[in-house]
Chains A and B, each alone.
Chain A
Amino acid sequence: AQSVTQPDIHITVSEGASLELRCNYSYGATPYLFWYVQSPGQGLQLLLKYFSGDTLVQGIKGFEAEFKRSQSSFNLRKPSVHWSDAAEYFCAVGAPGNQFYFGTGTSLTVIP
């Protein structure tokens, strides 16, 4: 069965600190993996995606993610968090022409 697990419902970090959001997936075929960010009342913005090749992918806003097939994980990282990064983050798995499966999201709070 296809599924995505984001173990952390809510994370609080200090501005300037590093960040790692966890994502584990279960998918029956070669996974295409995505991270999206959602600000309150807004749609989804794509941060980065992994299809193949280098397992460390760079995204927008200084985010990166690493695909680890052996661990079925695709964790999102940022070296130094900014206050504007406070939002909801969704990990998703899917394939072209097929639906996406989303995790339940991780809410990020950034404290000064």
Chain B
Amino acid sequence: GAVVSQHPSRVICKSGTSVKIECRSLDFQATTMFWYRQFPKQSLMLMATSNEGSKATYEQGVEKDKFLINHASLTLSTLTVTSAHPEDSSFYICSAGGDLRGYTFGSGTRLTVV
């Protein structure tokens, strides 16, 4: 149990375009999902907390207009990187689950903006 599916695993996009990343909890309902970003050879940094049915909470320094988060159902949260630029190239990982099972992470999305 406690499986989180993240899609796509890799995406390459042109500068100025938008990219949507999906995070699904497959066998449980997740009222809260978290989006992390990981730069090469660095740790994971929380970008935002996604709450079902309400606005996401963004960490300081994260542009909410650039990283749009939608958590429209109890099993799906999406992160849209708008007007992507090369500096947005990174590894994005979501996690879901707020109970004592501990957080389950998606497999991550490698975004490359060219």
A-side residues, CB < 8 A to B, are 32, 34, 36, 41-46, 49, 51, 90, 94, 96-100, 102-105, 107
Contacts and interface: CB of A to CB of B under 8 A. Distances in A.
16 contacts: A41-B91, A41-B110, A43-B93, A43-B107, A43-B108, A44-B93, A46-B104, A96-B100, A97-B32, A98-B98, A99-B46, A99-B49, A100-B46, A100-B95, A104-B43, A105-B42
Q: What secondary structure prevails in chain A residues at the interface with B?
A: loop
Interface size classification for chain B: 20 to 34
A51 B100 contact: yes
A104 to B, nearest CB: 5
Given A41-B108, A51-B100, 9 more contacts: A32-B102, A43-B6, A43-B105, A43-B107, A49-B102, A96-B98, A99-B49, A100-B34, A102-B45
Of A45, A51, A102, most buried by chain B (CB within 10 Å of CB) is: A102
Q: Binding site of B, secondary structure by majority: helix, strand, loop or mixed? A: strand
A46 B102 contact: yes
A34 B100 CA distance: 12
Contacts of A45: 105
B44 A102 contact: yes
Query: Which interface residue of A36, A42, A44, A94 has the most chain B CB atoms within 10 A?
Result: A44
Interface in B76-102: 91, 93, 95, 98-100, 102
